[in-house]
Structure 1
């Protein structure tokens, strides 16, 4: 059981324990009495052991020993990992059923939603599929004799059953490569489970149209390129359970390097070694299918990459144009003589009408998501301004607009949670954004343009790893924007951005397009992420994590290589300066505020910050 509320009288009750010292996927099982929901304190069973002077655990090692003893007269016993079997060539694992869905499984399901694979029906089935605890500990753990490993084997089974015929063939060939080629390099260290995991990642990120019979060798090449990527990183992540490296305890660093060299050789030589595999006469079968050379695969891959680069650039330009229209519409509904929320509702109704037109449906739905998010954020701001903290419904509504892009509305949600004091919830949202915001995410801004940020080679670089693996998942991050009606959803320092001019003359200097956004706060997603982490970790008293976020913000903002992907340098520098200010380093804060002014000396909130810090220094 995961919770005391799952206790049942007359049953054997075992409470799952997991803390920061327990490896991912591993649990300890505390023995709970069957007559009363209280911990067992006696060692009244040979399988019980003490973790400390109080806690009684159910030992996985003792469990297997008892199983072995029971079957000792029934034939030769084979032990392998969690298996204790008396049947040759069979693995038999006695396991405990987990009562409730676990966070590890729920996190995986949420990560996979919206993808072409796994299908939605499979994810729904996975939600109710039971997981098991099998008797095997982590090889590096101090409690490996007591630990139990979480096994989502029924979900993995469903994933395997969802394979089509060409995916099954690809998996079989991978196992043959493992058994005949990899075995010569690293022995039995690479297992069928490694092959299965590589297949899961490849299918998840490869377009379904590529899985055709004629592409078998090309698809095997993609799988090996996925394996090569993990070997380079030194970590093959478990497909379902986060934080588990499947190389741990299986493949040493030396073996990983040896295998990486061979996989590189295989790929560079167009998989010619496959034609010499004798198991199931694989080489003859491939030749019988008319497959002798796959030198064309590299050319096919390059053509795919060029096409995807052009497609990605067109998508970027479409999103950029979309943001321009969205901001103009947002500016128009912020008429001080009208009720803004009513104007937004009117726009939503118009978009809904357009969504019935097949040609306009996609862009209409995008507008609806963004306008809905804006209205929800404005309502949240109003609740915070009136100190009405009963707005859980508004918080829940954010989920309908979180997927507009990788980061912007998630960061708004984190900002709302921070502003209303839900710091732990804010941290979880920020951690989710940080996981999603990988190095290939492309930033998009509706107004500012960076020279060279739309060259074709930029987009080719974004998808270079994806092309290497036959994958195509372009992701974009919009700048985070707070209009004045959202002020109470934003950290106080961003209020200065909403009033960035010090004189009316500065307002007169604004270009036509500047007027659409300069009365709002707008910041690039990554600097805002690190700034919010600094605030939330500080609020929680987690000083080490706060300083880590501070250091990342400074490193990112000051790195000249990031200038081509940052649209609001001055605002990022203002956030960094404010961190220095909160640290009590006023000279450091002034340095960054003045650097911000070197980008834009007017219509820049840094002018207000400089005056404030100078007053603090003078006092």
Structure 2
């Protein structure tokens, strides 16, 4: 067998091994989708808060080009939209006309002009600040060598919290189970700069990137990040041109072979370069750049499974040639050098790459990251022929060693955790958006108008994409997660309106929105529907929904801990049944959310009239001395499974199903004891205490309230329930049990509570 054929067979084997190590298409898309949706929602939240900041996730976390063993850093670009940047003065008139659709004399705003002179290296610019009249914008300025006021690049980064500075980023260092977070403040120019026009004009034999993709690049514009050229006397005034959106576009469109090639380059960097070369040396961005140039100069037909190692070797060859000369060109501006190491470091990196090139298969068998090397040995079972070439005996054995089993388990847990983290983040951001829309002082009519307007805005994905400066396809995908929650909330407000106007059944429009809200997750949308039916005394219909939920509440429906600070490495309990389902069926994020995740159920202050009386107390948790900044002060938030069994108990009581109501109560208690992921323990204990009080078990009731109060001493409605019990006890002692009407006494105390809080 020739060496070429050997490499082809080894490539095919390595292709499969990388899948098992976490570099599969499924895991890649999972990572990409989660981060892209999060980006859209975070930026929308900031815009609703009128903070004029766009958030973009770049690098491995968003590209999906990482594995559990790499635990790559997460790069977050924070773009300040309040100060647009223009290359030329004439671009400003175009911005007024096309973007603002106003005349220039109608409105003024702060902006900056790119300023490139003899003191500015290629790939960098200074930002000349132009301030609008009567504007209080505070930006650190300094005069450059020509006496022009320009923006200092350190001011924005110094104002951010970080552990250390790395180039243009403020870095929050790793904690167990977390990635480093690189926060990069930036400004943005909406147009591609003329100084980078070479990217569009250079000859491309194989048409990479395609003409359509290059057209999108121009629309994305560029960022300016706060870092200057290390050898420039004006480095504190310079901003580097960043093409991160264009880079991300390429990375998201990589073929599977190209994607795995890049992962291999990163693994070699981590396992063989990083341990022996200290300081600034080979970076993931340089590996990425070498692959981009190789893709541009190679026929796409070459990038196939059996050529994986050959493509990897081509990229390493290019890196070695660049680094040996001390110049690694930027892909988008080739005259810009992105190599940072000195001559000594350069030679040490070249030596490592040279050894890898001399025996690429041997080094691949030594890869430690995610146990790739060991798994490759087990699957390929290589021998050597009489000429000294690596040979395969043709037998692909099934790996059955501890390392392979450990890698498999780590990957499965990583995928499970990735689903949980991504969906929790999406659910949290969606809830925060909801809290920004409504105010506790809104009337029902006002709340309904606001929710209708919000839904209309969300359904106009093009407008949302334009506001948030996000790609349309990312925005449309994010809306699939947000809209069902908003539909359910509007449906419950319409249901309350039905109740207040004297209707005995839900209107057609109410039902339509509640049904659309069923897709929010596995439980919360359905529980909103059931709560509305309960409020309108449609107990049979309510029971039908609740029984269906209970019957289908499989063990692989897990609760999401949305409302508490937590260390994700210890508090997410693994559901083995769901873990197996995720691995074998490879569901999308949306599939897992709607079928297997139960988020907390939140009711706004405007929905108070829809709730059973015991839950209404939860909107009055805070006293005058309790000032912690918790976002859910004035809202009812209850774990979905707890609400399910509480409503079942209430409905069965209304229908005189005493045995069934007791059964539901027991399930409520056992769920609280068994489900570690529940996060509103105090609310559940308060509801349990109310039921014990109703059953005339004051000792058990007081014990439940005490447990609740112990778990959360402040911002807890247990105080009112205890006050009510003390009031009842005092009145019954004073008047005698025969003369004291518990219901009337409770109502009197509630009036006092409602009037004082």
Normalised to the residue count of structure 1, the TM-score between the two structures is: 0.47
In terms of Rg, which structure is larger?
2
